Amino acid sequence: MTIGIGLLGLGTVGAGVAQILATPRGRHPLVGELALRRVAVRDLQRARPIELPSDLLTTDAEAVVDDPAVEIVVEVMGGLEPARSLILRAIAVGKPVVTANKAVIARYGEEIAAAAAARGVYVLIEAAVGGGIPIIEPLKQSLGANRISRVSGIINGTTNYILSRMADEGAAYTEVLADAQRLGYAEADPAADVQGGDAADKIAILAALAYGGSITRSAIPTQGIDRLDARDVAYADQLGYGVKLLAVAEQVATTAEGVAELDVSVNPTLVPRDHPLAGVHGVNNAILVEGDPVGRVMFYGPGAGAGPTASAVVADILNIAGIRQVSALGTPEQPVPLDPLLAAGSWRPCRLVDSAQTRHRNYVRLRTSDQAGVIGRIGTCFGDAGVSLQSIVQFQAPTDSEGGEAEIVVITHEVQEACFRQAMAAIEALPVVASVAACLRTL
């Protein structure tokens, strides 16, 4: 039984998918049953890494969705619109959708899931987070019995590549970024990666799956690596830490009404060298899931690229194709619930907790006058606000600083954010403190 596939997009991921479909030998037997029927692109003249019959290509993406020969719609065009509308259009006509589009799912996941559940079609999103790493289906299914306490991860390969090189070479951020762009590891416009937006999209999706309810994407506190100073990477190294852009979702409380309160954020974070996430280098991604009773489970692998991402997209297509094979379900005439677990009513109310109430360890670098008693005054500000310190160290003043300046690095114990902010306000007001040069999280 051949199953017709419609591809929306033939860029990096789309071409990777077409490549797998064109070479079924040695793969799961169902790959041989998948036939590419129509492919939407923007530019029919563009050279492609894979040769396809020219009559397969069209610039009319809606025609791909509507084509009766297309049974599964694969959205790999990216962006919010028309991707969102095309996904909803496919659902409306009862066609299952596979998408790699984290931006759409992070913002419209609830709308899309509701439409899919109402119409009884699958929308599978394995490629949207972690590229080739299976994390969506494990979170939805294999770890379903657990109370998930925390999901934390390195889920942006570009920034991890930049941070790895900053640590290895002691190089400045702008220098490494320029080199990463030359090598194709960073986009010409790197904003979504380096400012943390891409990681925030992905942690929004992981949080929704881990805690069973969607959160407002735009409310996720997000700090990227674009203002990170090589000094902090070097100091972190001297203190026994690596710096990683961590995306974290953690349940901190449940209200009397049963609403899960989540601390979800993206921050450059000092990770102790013996922590499993500290060993993740280069463009690789890793996601650490902590739950009861499973303990810690880590997923590691290539987080992007044509092959790895297409691997996840085709796995989702096979999932749908497999269900079709063993039952007559999943067709426009005989729909199935979107997802057996979600259909059982597992969506729960979730919301982001007030950030002042969250608890973290912090790393702070201060530029101060180089005189006796400075460390004592800074320590008093922290103490007065109830912030206990793990370490406070004076480093050599940077060569570009004014004469008579010192640099002081503080690592706090885990403290409430409101207390930390109070201490920092008092420290900034000290005449001996020239500036707060950096403020990062510590795991």
Ligand X SMILES: NC(=O)c1ccc[n+]([C@@H]2O[C@H](COP(=O)([O-])OP(=O)(O)OC[C@H]3O[C@@H](n4cnc5c(N)ncnc54)[C@H](OP(=O)(O)O)[C@@H]3O)[C@@H](O)[C@H]2O)c1
Active site residue 202: yes
Point out which residues pair with 438 in neighbouring strands: 365
Told to check if 61 binds ligand X by CB under 6 A, we report yes
- The correct pick among 20, 21, 78, 158 for binding ligand X (CB under 6 A) is 78
β 147-154/34-40 pair status:
unpaired
Residue 42 or 296: the one with the smaller Cβ distance to ligand X is 42
Whole-angstrom CA distances from 303 to 18, 143, 178 are 19, 21, 21
Using the rule CB under 6 A, is 87 a contact of ligand X? no
Q: Which of 43, 51, 189, 400 binds ligand X (CB under 6 A)?
A: 43
List 5, 65, 72, 77, residue binding ligand X (CB under 6 A): 77
57 is a site residue for ligand X (CB under 6 A): no
Whether 109 contacts 208, CB under 8 Å: yes
Write the Ramachandran bin of 392: left for phi over 0, alpha for psi from -120 to 50, otherwise beta.
Answer: beta
* 397 secondary structure, DSSP code: P
Q: Which is nearer to ligand X, 67 or 370 (CB)?
A: 67
- How would you write 34-81 as a 3-class SS string? EEEEEEECCCCCCCCCCCCCHHHEECCHHHHHHCCCCCEEEECCCCCC
Residue 41 lies near ligand X (rule: CB under 6 A): yes
d(CA 387, CA 272): 21
Among 127, 143, 409, 419, binds ligand X (CB under 6 A): 127
CB 118, min distance to ligand X, A: 24
Give every CB contact of residue 322 below 8 A, 6+ residues apart in sequence. Answer: 30
Q: Does 63 bind ligand X (CB under 6 A)?
A: no
Q: Name the 3-class secondary structure at 308.
A: helix
Q: Report, in Å, the least distance between residue 139 CB and ligand X.
A: 17
* Phi, psi of 128, deg, nearest 5: -70, -25
Work out whether 109 is an interface residue with ligand X (CB under 6 A): no
- For tokens 């979702």, the residue is 249
For ligand X, which is the closer residue by CB, 10 or 278? 10
Q: Identify whether the C-beta of residue 83 lies closer than 8 Å to the C-beta of residue 77.
A: yes
Decide: 8 and 74 in contact? Cβ < 8 Å: yes
From 21, 31, 73, 76, residue interacting with ligand X (rule: CB under 6 A): 76
Cα separation of 423 and 20, whole Å? 56
Smallest distance, ligand X to C-beta of residue 55, A: 16
Give the full edge-to-edge strand order of the sheet including 97-99.
57-58, 34-40, 3-8, 72-75, 97-99, 123-124
Of 95, 102, 140, 202, which is the active-site residue?
Answer: 202
Closer to ligand X by Cβ: residue 38 or 165: 38
Torsion sign (Cα): 310, 311, 314, 315 = negative
Minimum CB distance to ligand X smaller for 184 or for 293? 184
Q: Which residue lies nearer to ligand X by CB, 243 or 306?
A: 306
Q: What are phi and psi of 398, to 5 degrees?
A: -65, 155
Q: Which stretch binds ligand X (CB under 6 A): 73-81, 183-191, 238-246, 287-295?
A: 73-81
State which residue, 192 or 341, has the beta carbon closest to ligand X. Answer: 192
Q: Which of residues 259-318 bind ligand X (CB under 6 A)?
A: 304-305, 309
What residues numbered 5-34 form the site for ligand X, per CB under 6 A? 9-14
Supply the minimum distance, in Å, between the C-beta of residue 40 and ligand X: 4
Annotated catalytic residues are 202
Binding site for ligand X (CB under 6 A): 9-14, 40-43, 46, 61, 76-78, 82, 100-102, 127, 131, 304-305, 309
